[in-house]
Amino acid sequence: MKTLCELLALASGQLENAGVTEYELDAWILLEHVTGISRASYLCDRDMSVSEQQEEQYMELVRRRAERIPLQQLTGEQEFMGFPFYVNEHVLIPRQDTEILVEEAGRILKGIDHARVLDMCTGSGCIIISLMKHYGAGLAVGADISEEALKVAVRNAEKNEAEVSLIKSDVFSNVRGTFDMIVSNPPYIRTAVIAELEPEVREHEPRLALDGREDGLYFYRHITEQAGSFLAAGGYLLFEIGYDQGVEVSRLLHQYGYSGVRVIKDLTGNDRVCIGKYMEE
Ligand code: GLN
């Protein structure tokens, strides 16, 4: 039987060799996932041994992580805005960058009573569910073209006890009604750039959630063009954007009748969110 300390060293080494950036942290998180042992108890007793069954289970996960399967697809979970989200290979893993979009949307929502909010391309549901939990809304709807993604979103709404309607829709094809806010983190990576991404993203996250077609702007164009028909006068459209898309997405919003268009940067100083207010009649 190996001790925790020996197992960790073995796993870290294998992950480092496989090119995993945060190999020590990942080795630890997987060990915690399998054994349930907290960091504190580990630090108290590094020579604790684990059962053979747990060792086997752990080394199997480490092997899969060495194949560059994302950590979160192995543990089945990613935290976002302080809430736990279930994830699998059918949804984009919630990114910390996206919290900027939720926080900005939340600031606006505070000023609207019983706001009706639509999340276009909801994926795991992390945006609409955390918005609902943190800031509340009169109506919260998440739409996605992928049935598999919607299953994940439904599971996450239940897990977090959030009242969110989840609908299958190819962009706006099945959306009905009027909203005070539409938020979206659509696929926005240029097709040619996908090949340059880390293997975790390129090979294991859904291409459907990443690929913004040739110029990366396909969904911004599509959504901006149609969103006005589903927004109340003075309603807001908020997008997460790529670091180099601020100028072009702002231009699109202006073109389709939005005012007060602004771009918000993320913590590293890159453009991350673009907002506009739909024309007041
Ligand atoms: N931010 C994600 C990434 O860089 C992409 C998200 C998206 O296309 N919506 O992997």
pLDDT tens across 97-110, in order? Answer: 999 999 999 999 99
State how far the Cα of 187 lies from the Cα of 200, in Å rounded to an integer.
16
The yes-or-no verdict on residue 280 having pLDDT over 70 is no
* Domain that residue 263 falls in: 77-278
Q: Are 84 and 77 in contact (CB under 8 A)?
A: yes
- Assess whether 254 and 188 both reside in one domain: yes
Give domain status of residue 108, yes or no.
yes
pTM as predicted? 0.96
SS3 261: strand
Q: Are 56 and 5 in contact (CB under 8 A)?
A: no
- Tell me the CA distances in angstroms from 93 to 78, 85, 225, 237, 250, one per residue in order: 7, 9, 27, 23, 26
Residue to mutate, 97, 119, 188, 267, ligand 1, most ligand atoms under 8 Å from C-beta: 188
The stretch 32-37 carries a mean pLDDT of 95
- Assess whether 63 and 156 both reside in one domain: no
The yes-or-no verdict on residue 281 having pLDDT over 70 is no
How many structural domains compose the chain?
2
CATH at residue 81: 3.40.50.150
Sheet of 231-240: strand order equals 165-168, 139-144, 116-120, 179-184, 231-240, 271-278, 258-265
Q: What is the pLDDT of residues 239-271, one digit of tens each?
A: 999 999 999 999 999 999 999 999 999 999 999
Ligand 1 pocket, Cβ-based, cut-off 6 angstroms: 92, 95, 185-189, 201, 210
The strand pairing partners of 85, in sequence order, are: 78
Give domain status of residue 223, yes or no.
yes
Q: What is the dihedral of CA 134, 231, 153, 104, to 10 degrees?
A: -40
- Assess whether 39 and 154 both reside in one domain: no
